[in-house]
């Protein structure tokens, strides 16, 4: 990936996510600055298919991706992909899931927003697999808008048992009240995977949500301030210090999703002052977000982390696939 200094707002390539052997293109997700290809896991080898999923292995990681055209209902597509994920990851632990939801803020069948339809399909799939206690199995995740024609889901699972972490500044997403949809979002705020050369830490998509309420609707500056405070809260909870291991030896990858492409220079300048450094790998993307009033969302993936003890790990046991 290129560094922030080498980026250009003029770029409009679609994001591609490399799983070690080829790259999955994410339709509708335009790269505003940074690399057009995200590479997190290094060399991988093909590991077959499971339903709509193409699988690969990279060391202790099992990786998979599926894109399902929107020819049937979004809820059914979400359930189909997640059912396949659970089958493919039998004996492993889910660590991170990226969801790219078509027309995420538009109204779907029954007058329900597409994101909420997707959340219902995902939640029901988790419940089918893990039963009533499925919240203990929820890994870090994000869900942003993709192109209008297909749902894309990418996952990473590990043979090593992870630790899922919640943010003391936010209500756990899986406990959101019914005003946010018939089924709450199914993810943890962060997931920590141990490793001999250091831990891997996945920070879920983080935005201006305090408790469960949206902060400063459509105000970019105030939302970015709140997002950075939230990132500090989950960083501390994970044992990363207040700035996401900024001065540690880990490799840090950031994806910054912006509802309005024109906001990228301002956001990049502020993040250069408060969060990112020259060695970070940062990509800025134009995307619709899971709530229509949100302007910015930031996720992070850190590799080779030397952790202090996490302070707010989820107390329930992690469930294996």
Under 8 Å between Cβ of 51 and 67? no
Q: Is 297 designated active site?
A: yes
Q: Tell me which residue of 178, 162, 175 sits closest to 112, measured CA to CA.
A: 178
User: What's the alpha-carbon Rg for the chain, to the nearest Å?
Assistant: 18
Q: What is the DSSP letter of 254?
A: E
Under 8 Å between Cβ of 307 and 240? yes
The DSSP-derived string for 23-81 is EEEEEEEEEEES-SEEE-S---EEEEEETTEEEEEETTEEEEEEEEETTS-HHHHHHHH
What span, in angstroms and rounded, lies between the C-alpha atoms of 201 and 307? 10
Residue 15's alpha-carbon distances to 116, 213, 288, in angstroms, are: 24, 30, 14
User: 24, 38, 297, 299: which is the annotated catalytic residue?
Assistant: 297
Report residue 24 CA to chain centroid gap.
15
Q: Tell me which residue of 321, 310, 281, 9 sits closest to 166, measured CA to CA.
A: 310
Q: Tell me which residue of 71, 107, 98, 117 sits closest to 287, measured CA to CA.
A: 98
For the chain, the first-to-last Cα distance in angstroms comes to 32
Q: How many helices (H) and strands (E) does the chain have?
A: 4, 17
Q: Which residue(s) pair with 158 in the sheet? A: 61, 93
What span, in angstroms and rounded, lies between the C-alpha atoms of 311 and 48? 39
Catalytic residues: 297
């Amino acid at each position: 990936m290129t560094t922030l200094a080498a980026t250009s707002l003029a770029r409009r390539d679609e994001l591609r996510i490399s799983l070690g052997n080829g790259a999955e293109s994410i339709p509708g997700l335009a790269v505003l600055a940074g690399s057009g290809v995200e590479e997190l896991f290094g060399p991988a080898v093909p590991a077959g298919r499971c339903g709509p999923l193409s699988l690969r292995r990279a060391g202790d990681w099992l990786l998979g991706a599926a894109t399902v055209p929107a020819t049937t209902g979004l809820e059914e597509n979400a359930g189909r992909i997640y059912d396949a994920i659970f089958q493919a990851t039998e004996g492993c632990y889910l660590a991170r899931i990226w969801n790219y939801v078509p027309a995420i803020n538009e109204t779907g069948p029954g007058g329900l927003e597409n994101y909420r339809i997707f959340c219902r399909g995902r939640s029901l799939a988790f419940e089918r697999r893990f039963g009533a206690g499925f919240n203990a199995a929820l890994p870090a995740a994000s869900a942003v808008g993709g192109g209008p024609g297909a749902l894309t889901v990418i996952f990473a699972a590990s043979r090593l048992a992870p630790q899922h972490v919640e943010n003391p500044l936010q209500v756990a997403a899986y406990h959101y009240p019914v005003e946010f949809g018939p089924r709450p979002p199914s993810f943890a705020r962060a997931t920590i995977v141990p490793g001999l050369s250091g831990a891997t830490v996945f920070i879920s998509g983080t935005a201006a949500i305090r408790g469960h309420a949206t902060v400063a609707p459509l105000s970019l500056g105030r939302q970015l301030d709140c997002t950075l405070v939230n990132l500090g809260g989950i960083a501390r909870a994970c044992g990363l210090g207040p700035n996401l291991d900024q001065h540690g030896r880990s490799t840090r990858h950031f994806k910054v999703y912006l509802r309005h492409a024109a906001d990228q220079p301002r956001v990049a300048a502020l993040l250069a002052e408060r969060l990112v450094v020259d060695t970070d790998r940062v990509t800025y993307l134009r995307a619709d977000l899971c709530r229509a009033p949100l302007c910015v969302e930031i996720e992070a993936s850190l590799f080779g982390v030397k952790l202090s003890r996490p302070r707010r790990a989820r107390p329930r046991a992690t469930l294996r696939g």
